[in-house]
Amino acid sequence: MEVNIYTVVLGENLLPIGLIVVKWDNKIGTVLEAKYPEDVVVSPDLTMKIYGAHVLGEEREAGFISMKVDSLNIASYFAGIEINYYVALLLKPTEDATAFEDALIEVASKIFENLGEKKYVEKLPEFYKFLEKYPVLTRDQKIASVLLDPIKSFVFKTLLEHGCVTKDQLQEDIVKNLGVKTFDINAILSSMIKSGLVVSEWVEGVPSEVVFLIRDFEIVRVPSNIKKIPANVKNAIRDFFSKYKQSPRDTAILARAITDPEIYEIIKALKTHGGMSIKEISEKTEIPEDKIFNYIGWLRRNNFIIEVEETNQSKFYLISEPMVITFYPEYQIKSVIERYNEGVLPAKQVIRYLLFLKEAYGGERM
């Protein structure tokens, strides 16, 4: 099954003005390489100002900035002086540019990976729609998105296995295992750090910053807990969960259900209001009926809902829903000590990790 995090549509209250991809050319300065929507007007002066703000920063390295130019708020991510590209989101003055940081970093990383022959251009509408919706994504949705991004997912799996790994090692492993050449490890880790899954810190004697896993998570399928539901729906829930077995494929389905804002909106509406027709769902979610129809098909095929005939009308009931649970990675304590005893990890790195785990212990479900 093809899983795509970016299958989202416009939000009503958050409408950025445009997304631009700009490169620096030593002869002619900033070059607007691509933009979305096509009709967004971008002055050469604006692209120069954004570039100037990036290179004026520390050591011309990759990084995010938010700035105000005339009547625009701008969120921009620079690939660093070697690649010399930036991706900027142009926002209305009322919008908070920093709210887009993680999403922009994620989108920019995907663009920088596909600069050759401008392969990213056809993806710009998807990226733009994802960015529009990102600030209203819940924390659970942001955590779940880790599983849908190949690099983030790889990093998380590596950390599950080893507990703590240097950034250099992670970079090397990504190149070796995924064949990706252009990516920014700091950008990859940024949203995972903000979600409280990992921390990153220098350890004396270790030549590269070390990334520590301090919170594990799982996406699970849970029964719908709506109280007033017909008996046949109750039976359907019982039947489904008596046979249900978790699998990697199902985890991917759950991840899509939780990270796709429109699918998640439909699940939330059904959870709140019980049985609903397509028309009613459309009214509650403000998603057009034709799109609801497609989403309903996907939700039925993947056992989230069932259809029930009620007084000459088809209604849909939720039978299961995705849930993100985060938990303390206690298993890492034993594992990290074993690796120290085997001589794989230096003492100071192990001590730092144990201190992080101690600090993280007892943390509530996030």
Partner 1 sequence: MIRQIYIYADTGTPIFSRKYAEVKEVDINELLKFIVPIAQNLNEGSIEHTDITRYRISYMRLGRFTNVFVSDRTSETARVEEALVNFSRHLETLNLNLPLSIEEAKVLEKISEETVSLIPVKICLVGFGGVGKTTILKLLRYEEIPLRYEPTIFGERAMLVIPVGPYKAVLFTVGGQERFMPIWDILIRGSDVIFVVTDSTPENVERTKTHVLPIVRETAKYARIIAIANKQDLAMALPAYRVEQILGLKTFGCVAIDPAYREPLLNLIKEILLS
Question: Binding residues for partner 1, per CB under 8 A?
Answer: 24, 26-30, 44-45, 48-49, 51-53, 55-56, 81
The span from the CA of 254 to the CA of 144, in Å, is 9
CA distances from 331 to 118, 156, 247 (A): 44, 15, 21
> Is 45 or 122 the residue whose CB approaches partner 1 more closely?
45
The CA angle 276-282-287, to the nearest 5 degrees, is 145
Q: For the CB of residue 88, give the shortest distance to partner 1 in the complex, in Å.
A: 15
Q: Which is nearer to partner 1, 24 or 134 (CB)?
A: 24
Residue 327 Cβ vs partner 1, minimum distance, rounded to whole Å: 47
Least distance (Å) between residue 181 CB and partner 1:
19
User: At its nearest, how many Å lie between partner 1 and the CB of residue 29?
Assistant: 4
Determine the 3-state secondary structure of 301 from DSSP.
helix
- Which among 182, 6, 59, 195 has a CA at the least distance from the CA of 109? 182
User: In angstroms, rounded to a whole number, what is the distance separating the alpha carbons of residues 348 and 354?
Assistant: 10
CB nearer to partner 1: pick between 76 and 158: 76
Give the list of residues 6+ apart from residue 100 with CB closer than 8 angstroms, or none: 16, 75, 89, 91, 131, 134, 135
CB of 164 to partner 1, least distance (A): 36
CB of 16 to partner 1, least distance (A): 24
Toward partner 1, which CB reaches closer, 51 or 264?
A: 51
CA dist 3 to 7, 45, 254, 255, Å?
Answer: 9, 39, 10, 9
Choice between 44 and 288, CB closer to partner 1: 44
Residue 31 vs 34, nearer CB to partner 1: 31
Phi and psi at residue 70, in whole multiples of 5°?
55, -120
